[in-house]
Structure 1
Amino acid sequence: MSTPASATAPELQLLRPDHASALLSFEEANRAYFAASIPDRGDAYFRDFDARHRALLAEQAEGACYFHVLVGEGDEILGRINLVDVADGAAELGYRIAQKAAGRGLATRAVRQVCDLAATAYGLTRLRAATTHDNAGSHAVLTRTGFVPVGDVRLDGVPGTGYALTL
C-alpha cells in the first residue's frame, strides 16, 4: 500500500523585509497561545510592528542578531528561531512555533538547523537558552538538540532553567 505524498517541509529562512506581513499574522494568530507559556509581547509590539521589524533587520545587518522564520506552504510563517545578543562567539537562542504546527518536531528540526548555522555560517561556538519550568515542550526541544541545563533563571519573574550548548 502506498502512503500519500506529504506536504513540503517548512523551510528555514533568514528574516527579510518581505516577511513582515506574514510574521505579523503569525504573531497575532498565536498571541494567546504563546502568552500561556512565555511573557506576552504587549500591545505596543503589535501597534509598532513595522518599525520593530525594520529595527530587527538593522540589528541583523550589523551582525548583532540572526532572525529566522520557518516558512510553510503559501509563505505562511509557522515559527521563529532567533539568535540574539551575539558577542564573543556566543548568542542567546529563542524560538516559538505556531500552535497549529506544534507537536510535529518542527521546533527540534529548526533549532538543529539554526545550531548548525550558528557554528558554520555565523562562527559561533556557544549558545545559551532558557525556558520556564512549566514549558515541557521547550525543555524537550533543548534536551533533544544537545543543550544541557546550567542552572535556575528567572524569565520576567517566572522561575525557569538556563541551558547551554557548546558548538
Structure 2
Amino acid sequence: MNAPAPADAWTLESLRADHAPALLDFERRNRAHFARTVPDRGDAYFTEFADRHHALLAEQESGLSRFHVLITRQGDLVGRVNLVDIEDGSAELGYRIGESAAGRGMATAAVAEICRAAQAAYGLSRLIAVTTLDNPASMTVLRRNGFTQVETTTIDGRPGVRHERPPAPAD
C-alpha cells in the first residue's frame, strides 16, 4: 500500500470561476483514464464546458452541491471531489483523481478531508457514494474512509455498489 499523499502537498479548494481553464484541461487530459472506470462525459461536456462550469457555480451558490478541486503545491489541478444532491443532511460524494496523481493515496486523503468538511463546514451527517464493480481502487478509498457497502446497483448498465458513511462521532 502506498502512503497517503501528505496533506501539505495539495489543497482542497472550493470551485471558482477562475478554475475553469485548468479544470477543462484536467478533464481533457484524463478523459481516457476516467472512461476505464466511470461513464464517459461525452463530447458535449467539452464543447459546452463554459456553460456547464457557470451552472455548477450557480448550483454551488444555491447550496445544492459543493464542488472542490485538488491543487498541488506547484499549482496543478490534479483532482476533484464533489458533494451533490445535498438534502436533509445527506449528500452524494463523487471524486476523480487524474492519472498522473493516481496510486499515491491522494484520493484516500482527499475523501477523508471532504468527509471532515461535510460534517464541520456543511453540516452533513450522511454521505453516499456509488462505484462500479470494476473500480476496486475506488471501493478501497471508500472503505478506508468508513463507507460500507449497502446494496448493489447499476451505473449506466454496469454493475455497481452503493456505499454509505454514517455520521462521524463528534470530536
Could you state the TM-score of these two structures normalised by the residue count of structure 2? 0.92
SS of 1:46's equivalent in the other structure is helix
- 1:73 Cα deviation after fit: 3.7
SS of 2:104's equivalent in the other structure is coil
Amino acid at match of 2:130: A
Unaligned runs of 5+ in 1: 1-5
Q: Kindly report which structure 2 residues correspond to 1:146-165, keeping only aligned pairs within 5 A, or say none.
A: 146-165=146-165
Distance 2:87 2:96 in 1: 23
Ranges of 4+ aligned residues in structure 1 off by more than 3 Å? none
Amino acid at match of 2:137: G
Q: Which structure has the higher relative contact order (CA within 8 Å, separation 6+)? A: 2
Distance 1:120 1:154 in 2: 31
- 1:75 Cα deviation after fit: 2.2
Amino acid at match of 2:26: F
Unaligned runs of 5+ in 2: 1-5
Question: Residue in 2 aligned with 1:97?
Answer: 97
Distance 1:150 1:88 in 2: 19
Farther off after superposition, 66-75 or 37-46: 66-75
Distance 2:76 2:45 in 1: 20
Q: Cα deviation per residue 1:49-71 (whole Å; 9 max; x = unaligned)? A: 01100000000000000001000
Kept after mapping to 2: 8 A contact 1:22/1:75: no
- 1:157 Cα deviation after fit: 1.0
Question: Residue in 1 aligned with 2:48?
Answer: 48
Distance 2:41 2:142 in 1: 22
SS of 2:51's equivalent in the other structure is helix
Distance 1:15 1:132 in 2: 26
Question: Residue in 1 aligned with 2:124?
Answer: 124
RMSD: 1.3
Number of aligned residue pairs: give it. 162
Distance 1:37 1:45 in 2: 18
